[in-house]
Structures are given as structure tokens and as C-alpha cells.
Structure 1
């Protein structure tokens, strides 16, 4: 009886030892395969000109996925039932996805931004009332630097949920200025004065041609619209300087920029004495 028991123990030890050796082989080979696949994926994505952040992220996901498969294979080889373990991992994954819903949303949005490239680093963008230069794009958020040198971190999901205006994708930008003059001023004289100002400004492009026209007849002014094109690098400077140049030139040409005013009419049966009385 004791002899049979000893034989059974030896058989069990040998069998389990073989399983452990097989599990170690699976582990070693699996780690090698995981590393090779990660490198292959990184190389393919890099050749496809995918952003480095996304390349590393996808490579790490592939590596982690293979490690999970290796772990399940090792447990099966050791005779451990993995069905319940997979169910538990699935439940944990579901709970984590609910707990980190916002983070996962930002993650998905970050992947979309990196893939579709609506903007890149150093682009000047505006989204949901926030404007700034893109300083960094990562998986969860985008870092903007405003013109006032303020740093704003915008969750990626906010970027994909709203309209994005990219001011840097095109080489040139159009600047539009509306200026009001008095009704007594000569229209052609105003146009000629503005045309002279535009011709003498080196930051304004000749093509596309500038446009000067009457936009509206307001209560107190005749509103002219000036539409000019400039290189995107000069847009901010031109936007600030053009108003000052217009005011100086209008003063020289005696063109009036009136204050808002109203005509008041009195209707009565007898004259009204408006003289000051002491």
C-alpha cells in the first residue's frame, strides 16, 4: 500500500513538474513573442506616420493583451480553471469602465485627435470660447498656451464634442474691420482714403484683392467693411495696428467718426421755452 502511494506521489510530482516546465516555456516564449510583436506594431505605425504618443500607446496595449493571453495559457497548463477567472476579470473590467467613464471618453477622443489630426503642436486654435497655441497633445488632454501666456488643459473629449477652429492650417487669413463714418462724409472720398491706407501697408496682401464696401446704414453712421488678406503670422499685429492707422488717416482727411446720437422731436400745442432761467 505504501509502495503504491509512493508511486502515485512520484507520478504526481513528475506530471506537475512537466506542467511547470511547460508553463515556464510558455512564459519565456510568450514574452519573446510579445516583445517582437510590440516592436513590429511600433515600426508599422511609425512608417504609417502615426503620432509617437499613439504608437507607444497601441504598442503597450498589444503587449499587455499578449501578456493576458500568456497568463491564461499558463494557468490552463497548470490545471487551474480559468473560466471563472475570466468572468471575474470581465466584471472588474466593466466596473472600471463605468468608474473611469470620463477618462475612457478622453482616451478615445485623444486617439481620434491623433489619428485625424484636426490640429497639431504649435497650431493656434479656438474651441468653445477658449483660444490658444497647442503646446502638447497626449492621450487624455491637450495643453494650450493663450496669448496672455496662460496654460489651459482641455480634456480631449471637450475638443471632439465641440467645433474646432484652426487658424494655422491655411497660409493666409482674412481680416475684417467695420468702421462707421458720418452721413455727411463723401462715400468715394472715404473709399479712396481706405484704399490708400491699404496700398501703403506692407502686411496686407495684394492677392486676393482687398475689398472696401458699405455694409450697413446704421442710426448714426454709414458702416464700411474692410476685408484684407494677410499671412497668418501677421494677423494679430495687423488687427491691432489697422485701427490706429485708420483713425490717424481719417483725422488728416477730415473724415468724421461720429458718436451715437438721436434726434428728439417735441410735439405740443404751444412753444416751449428752453432758455435757462436763473
Structure 2
């Protein structure tokens, strides 16, 4: 122990405090554990320096010191308790960080406040030799008076403690409190701060958040809901509308199979019926894009449904074939003569659910136009069948056989009951000469879909990582490759 003796114990203790402040201030915060180890070591040196100077934080300073040394010794002994409280608080934060995360400020502050309160009372009793019982009684009376004065603030504080303990939401969660939706950016002693979609910040008192209904839109994080509401005329038959809505939902690949998406009638009036469509997706960031996609799919399916088509034809008389041609963007550029000629060549076909419309490996001898329903397009890879996409009303099929006369590398199957128009290749010969708009549009569509197929075929399935005790032993004993 002689090697640990200090020539100037009190000055050495003060120097240790200065070193601790410098280290804690200037060492990178990312090295929190190393800072904690250094602080514990410095606290041990500080304690040894006090003991070497015949000081004990567990008893008042002896009377053998000069007034200046007595004052310095009393201050250092009092600081020992606060220094120990600070080291204990930092140690607890490091140990609890994996559980509470790096942003659990409220619990950390509460824990630190309790530790420092206990340390201050202990220092007052042991070092200053004050009557702790009287001090606690006085402090209790003062606390009651202050509690009555700041009752609402204390309600927010304790509500914040409850919210941090039960964790109905965390920082970075998207929640809705009292119909206010936003992202949680901070939870402090009094309030919860939300960043709304418009970029403004909303401050909600914790007492209000604890009493009102909280909707956490970020949990469960496995899926997120997409809800649409549309109103349609009451003259449209609900069963046909619901069938079109179900087809529109199946036309989106972003929607999860489970929980299953669905559509229901929310309410009905004298002039309109309100329908609610609900689906679920993996990423909340895709909600806007999926909503837009669903609106487009719903419009296309409703436009292709019998009920809406009959209503539209009553307002503006038109043939069914003409409506199908209008649904294809690339065919809208044809003049009236060409459109009339194509309408005479269109033949109607229907396919049940699961029916193969175009088998893989066949050369399509016709251009197919989907009038209603959803078609899934899949390609066979080494790991099985892979879905490339889904087609709906107004989409074309069989363009590769018409333009390139090559075997179809994909399989087109009816995902729902489908109605398809067919135009034979022989009938399309007048439109397939070089420079024709229809021929160029079909070539561009075939090229784009060919690129999508190439990307899908280049995919390599991830090799399954072996697990288990045998794999661990083999990995541990196998020598590493040289170099």
C-alpha cells in the first residue's frame, strides 16, 4: 500500500476531479463504455486519496486540520458522495442501455435524480452531521407545498414515467393521439413531441397522452394497413361493385396475402353507397404509392364491370368492343376507320379462376386485350415459378408472338375470372408494317417486358446457411485457407 500513498492527498483528490471532468468532456461519446471504466478507476483513485489524507466520507472531518484544510476536506468528502452518485448513474445507464435504448432520457433522468437525492441526504448526515430526520421532515413539508403548487406539472411528469414504463410508443414510432398523427421525435419530463406530415411540431402534455386513445401506426411492424373509402351511385348493384373491388385488390402485388385484403359496404344513402377497402403492406413508406395504385386499379375494374358499363352506355351509346379499345392507351391513337375495322375483328373469350390463358413455350397467334379480371404473369426459374407482374383491364398479352413470332417465355394465368378479347395475327397484318404506330407500340411493349424477364432470370436464390451444432463444430475446426 506504500506505493499508493499520495504526497499531497487533498491536492491529488482535487486533481483527480479535474482529470475526470476533462476526460468526460472531450472523449468521444461513442466510447461510452471506455469512459465509464476510466470514471470508475478515477473514482477509486479519488477514494484512495481521501483515505490517504485521513478522511472518511462516512464521518465528519476531524478537528485537527487548519480552517482552510478543514473546509477543503469537508468539500471533498461531500463531493465524494456526489461523485459516487454520478459514477453509479453512468454505470446504470450503460448497463440498461440495451433495454431502454439510447433515447430513454426520462427514465435516465428519474433514476439519476433518485440516486443524487439519496447521496445528498447521506452526505448531509455523514459529512456535515446534520439532523437527517429533521431535514427529511422539513423536505417533506416543502415537497407537499411544491406538489400542490405544481400539481399539473407533476401529473405530466408521472404520466411520462408511466408512458416510458409501459412503452405504448417509442421515439421514431408514428402514432395518432387525439386525432393528431405524427412521428414521435422526443419524450421528455412533461411532453411528447410529434412531427406531423406537414412538417410542423405538435407538443402534447404527457397527462393528456396517458388519458386519451393512442393508435400506434408503427406496430406491429410486420404489416401496415391501407384504407380507402369510395362513394358510388346507388343504382350500381353492390354485389357487382364488391366483385370489382376484390379484383382490384388482387391486382396489386404490394398487398399481403395475410391478413387478407377485403372490401365492405360502410353505409348506404338515397343517392350513393360508401365502400371501404382495406389491405395490408409490409412497408409503411409504400402506403401512398399503394393507395394511388389501388385507386387506378379500382377505376379500371369498375370501368370494365357490366353494371358500370351498362350505365355508361345508356349515357353515351357505344359498343362493348369500342370500350375495350378505349381502355388500351396505345390503341387510342388509331383513327375512327382503323378502330371500326378492329372492332369487327375482336372475338370474346372467358377464363375461370386458375385457367391458363397463354401457356409457356407457345407462340401466340393473337393479340389479347383484357376486358375485366386479373391475370398473373409468371416465369419458371431454377427455384420455381416467379411472378413477374399482374395485368388488368386495358392491358395486352401475346405481343411477343405477334411481333417476334417467338415462343412465349412466360405463363399467363387467370387470377380471377377473366374476360378477354382476341384479335388474330392474320387479321392484324395491315397494321404490322414498318412505321405503323401500332407496330411500334407493340415492339416497345415487347422490348420492355423482355428486359423485365432478363432481370428476373438473372436472380440467384440465396444459399441456405447451414445451422446447428455440427455446422458450428465444422466451422470451428476447419483450418482457414492460406493467404
Question: What TM-score does the superposition give when structure 2 sets the normalisation length?
Answer: 0.43
Question: Partners in 2 of 1:162 and 1:214 — Cα distance?
Answer: 29
**1:120 and 2:170 are equivalent in the alignment:** yes
**1:197 and 2:243 are equivalent in the alignment:** no
**Equivalent residue of 2:164, what SS?**
helix
Match of 1:61 in 2: 114
Superposed displacement of residue 148, structure 1: 0.8
Question: Partners in 1 of 2:230 and 2:86 — Cα distance?
Answer: 65
**1:96 and 2:149 are equivalent in the alignment:** no
Question: What TM-score does the superposition give when structure 1 sets the normalisation length?
Answer: 0.70
CA 1:164–1:193 in structure 2 vs 1: closer, same or farther (change >3 Å)?
A: same
CA 1:84–1:234 in structure 2 vs 1: closer, same or farther (change >3 Å)?
A: same
- Which of 231, 235, 238 is 2:287 aligned to? 235
**1:143 and 2:189 are equivalent in the alignment:** no
Judge conservation of contact 1:75–1:81 (CA < 8 Å) in 2.
Answer: no
Match of 2:258 in 1: 207
Question: Partners in 1 of 2:62 and 2:267 — Cα distance?
Answer: 91
Superposed displacement of residue 118, structure 1: 0.9
Larger RCO: 1 or 2 (CA < 8 Å, sep 6+): 1
Question: Partners in 2 of 1:33 and 1:204 — Cα distance?
Answer: 56
Q: Which moved more, 1:88-97 or 1:209-218?
A: 209-218
Question: Partners in 2 of 1:138 and 1:189 — Cα distance?
Answer: 53
**Equivalent residue of 1:196, what SS?**
helix
Question: Partners in 2 of 1:187 and 1:128 — Cα distance?
Answer: 34
**Equivalent residue of 1:179, what SS?**
strand
Match of 2:209 in 1: 159
**Equivalent residue of 1:131, what SS?**
strand
Structure 2 unaligned segments of length 5 or more: list them: 1-60, 312-483
**Equivalent residue of 1:255, what SS?**
helix
Superposed displacement of residue 242, structure 1: 3.5
Question: Partners in 2 of 1:32 and 1:222 — Cα distance?
Answer: 70
**Equivalent residue of 1:238, what SS?**
helix
Match of 2:415 in 1: none
Question: Partners in 1 of 2:300 and 2:201 — Cα distance?
Answer: 36
CA 1:47–1:166 in structure 2 vs 1: closer, same or farther (change >3 Å)?
A: closer
Aligned residues: 240
Question: Partners in 2 of 1:192 and 1:74 — Cα distance?
Answer: 82
Deviations 1:149-175 (CA, angstroms, capped at 9, x unpaired): 111111111111112100101222333
Question: Partners in 2 of 1:176 and 1:219 — Cα distance?
Answer: 24
Superposed displacement of residue 119, structure 1: 0.8
Match of 1:263 in 2: none
- Which of 111, 116, 120 is 2:161 aligned to? 111
Match of 1:262 in 2: none
Alignment of 1:1-278 (within 5 A): 17=63, 26-27=77-78, 29-46=80-97, 48-49=99-100, 52-53=104-105, 54-76=107-129, 84-170=134-220, 171-231=222-282, 232-239=284-291, 242-243=294-295, 245-247=297-299, 249-251=301-303, 253=305, 255=308
Structure 1 unaligned segments of length 5 or more: list them: 1-14, 259-278
Superposed displacement of residue 108, structure 1: 1.4
Question: Partners in 2 of 1:158 and 1:176 — Cα distance?
Answer: 27
CA RMSD of aligned residues (A): 3.4
